[in-house]
Amino acid sequence: MTSQWEAQDKVFLITGGASGLGAEYVKIFLQLGAKSVAVLDIAEAASKTFVASLNEKFPGKAVFIKCDVSKEDEIKTAFQQVLYENKQIDVIINNAGVINESLDQWRTASEVNWQGVVSFTLKGMEHMRKDKGGTGGTIINISSIAALCKYPIYPTYCGSKIAVLHFGQTLSMPPFFDSTGVRILTICFGATVTPLLENLRERMFDRTLYEPFTTEVDVSSYQRIDSAVKAFVKMFQEGEPGSIWLSIHNKPGIDITSDINQAFDEFKMKWIL
């Protein structure tokens, strides 16, 4: 593949980058030669400890910026700080995500999972686009198997993740990449062993309505973190602009763009045209 899709000497911005899959992305891209990685997270103490450990192995290449991606003012400040320190951003990974269907938390969860993704994507696009003087780049948005299946105990989460998927595929339609040089990628993960899936029963939507769906899932069936990371790197290195990928059951990452397009096209042909 063209060197355009290599991590070497690239500046990365990764949200939710201090734990779970986000922390693994930080580590793998530093290993692959990233010039700098900005770790955005809300867990200040844990993030500082994590970044300090990274800089022992990769001196001066990791920086922590506290950022709550549900808050637009913090997004703006963090984005500008990364730009100020690095002059440019080559790769944005919108990884931050939460699952919480409670009546007092669903809005914040939606802002993290959806509106924060849109905000960083649009800011990154304006900075990167070649038709406005930028140098191009890659923006990766994290969707989920929840975008492709129906889980009634997580309706808000499912809704936000299908929004992320449709946002990416719609935004990146031709001639977007040819004009801007900005590659939009979307990946859907199946259940993976990360903190996101801990104590899920406490964050479900009304368990009494959907009792058959609330049985505890066998954690041994979850995808391993290392498998998910391999799929992610494969997508980064090989993914065509606008493509959508699937990582599930410890299998190699697979480009499912044609399947998604076919589903939309069949509906359009049957009902719209």
d(CA 66, CA 212): 40
Pick the closest to residue 145 from 202, 217, 71 (CA basis).
217
Phi, psi for residue 119 in degrees, rounded to 5: -60, -50
**Alpha-carbon span 187 to 231, nearest angstrom:** 9
Measured distance CA(179)–CA(92) in Å, rounded: 19
Classified as helix, coil or strand, 140 is strand
Q: Check 84, 151, 154, 157 and give the catalytic one.
A: 157
- Cβ neighbours of residue 184 closer than 8 Å, sequence gap 6 or more: 121, 138, 139, 141, 168, 171, 172, 176, 177, 241, 242
Annotation marks residue 210 as catalytic? no
Residues 6 or more apart in contact with residue 198 via CB below 8 angstroms: none
Phi, psi for residue 174 in degrees, rounded to 5: -55, 140
Angle 72-86/116-128 helices, nearest 10 degrees? 30
What is the set of active-site residues?
Answer: 157
